[in-house]
Amino acid sequence: MKLVNVSRPVYQANPMDALLNDFFNANRTSDRLERQELAYSPSINVLESDTEVVLELLVPGYSKDQIQLAVENNTLMVKSDLSKIEESAPEDSSELKYSRVEFEKKDFEKKFRLSDKLDQEKIRAEVNNGILKVILEKRKEAIPVKRQIEIG
């Protein structure tokens, strides 16, 4: 039984198929970077112990103020809000202009369907070194009972 279901976008198995579809289908945009399927979605790790499930999301460059977590209808939603970008540049930065751009921070949204075996009131989160760690505690009845049985 899965405690957390991760929804992933569907990608074409062969990158050559995607390239040919872009070339021969005039109705679609030719710039694959503008398409929704290539929007930023942080990579995740799911760890589980007897008492909790931990989600690790890779969010380098995002501050804790730019990340929002919410639970609604057994769904955990993690999303970013880049409108809260901190103004930490020096005052003379108006003279600075990009001469090369290789990466860009984008808004993201990721949803996780939560099992009834998780306690939604005890969800905690922390950001450290570009990794958002969301800790989901299991309900007491979901924790396996371990006891020794004596042989008589």
Which residue ranges of the chain lie beneath pLDDT 70?
1-39, 84-93
Decide if 33 contacts 18 (C-beta within 8 A). Answer: no
pLDDT at 79: 93
Dihedral sign for Cα atoms in the order 101, 44, 41, 122: negative
pLDDT at 26: 52
What's the rounded Cα separation, in Å, for the pair 67 and 104? Answer: 16
Q: How far, rounded to the nearest angstrom, does the alpha carbon of residue 78 sit from its chain's CA centroid?
A: 6
Cβ atoms within 10 A of the Cβ of 76, count? 21
pLDDT at 35: 52
pLDDT at 93: 61
Among all chains, which residue has been given the structure tokens 């369907």? 113
Q: Rounded to the nearest 5°, which phi and psi values hold at 105?
A: -85, 130
pLDDT at 77: 94
Half-sphere exposure of residue 32: CA atoms within 13 angstroms, side-chain side = 13
